[in-house]
Amino acid sequence: MKKIYLLASIVLLVIVFLGYQFMTKDNALQARQAEIHEKGILVMPFDLDKTTHHFKQTEDGGVMEIRVKNPDDEEQINLIRQHLKKELDLFASGDFQDPSSLHGADMPGLATLGSSADKFSVEYSDLPDGAQLTYISDDQDVVAAFHQWFMAQMTDHGADAMGY
């Protein structure tokens, strides 16, 4: 009987420990996402509460869209377009300082992208409810870096971002 109680106690302790670990990681992720949301205004002129980032990985890079939640919000649409036109010029020259300043210099993919401007192109397009940047490369290391960068942004932005 003592062995059953001992075994049950061990199982219970393991469950409590694993639950604590999960809650700690979940709380850290939520804190990180809240921090990115609050600091977003330092890099992005539009309101993150009124917009959503969309990321799509493609075979040759990916597409990043920023769309308003309310399609009648012309102010936010204009701010999105202004921001992505600025980022187009920076990213095309390998300058990823804006995402680095928001997400951290060690953000996945940024080191490769920053040193590979001659291996990819960036295209800008208006969308009816925002704008998008399309990243294209035939270098698989660069494509992988875009995919890593997209995944890191989706994680950091949490509810402000989604894949499609």
Chain segment 49-68, per-residue pLDDT in tens: 999 999 999 999 999 999 99
Neighbouring C-beta atoms of residue 143, cutoff 10 Å: 22
Q: Which of 99-113, 121-135, 149-163 has the highest mean pLDDT?
A: 121-135
Predicted confidence at residue 38, as pLDDT, reads 74
Higher pLDDT, 96 or 26: 96
Please tell me the predicted confidence (pLDDT) of residue 16.
Answer: 46
User: Does residue 5 have a pLDDT over 80?
Assistant: no
Q: How confident is the model at residue 20 (pLDDT cuts 50, 70, 90)?
A: very low
Identify the CA nearest to 43 among candidates 100, 88, 92, 89. Answer: 100
CA distance 64 to 54: 6
The closest alpha carbon to 160, from 28, 46, 26, 27, belongs to 46
Reported as a pLDDT band with limits 50, 70 and 90, residue 133 is very high
CB 104 within 8 A of CB 91: no
CA-to-CA distance for 67 and 5, rounded, in angstroms? 57
Backbone angles phi, psi at 109, to 5 degrees: 90, -25
* pLDDT value of position 43: 81
Structure tokens at 141: 């290391």
State the chain's mean pLDDT as an integer: 85
Return phi, psi of residue 137, to 5°.
-155, 150
Query: Residue 135, SS3?
Result: strand
pTM of the model as a whole: 0.78
Q: Positive or negative, the Cα torsion across 130, 50, 38, 103?
A: negative
**Predicted local confidence at residue 30, as pLDDT:** 80
Residue 52: name the closest of 134, 146, 164 by CA: 164
Kindly state the tokens that stand for 21: 């670990």
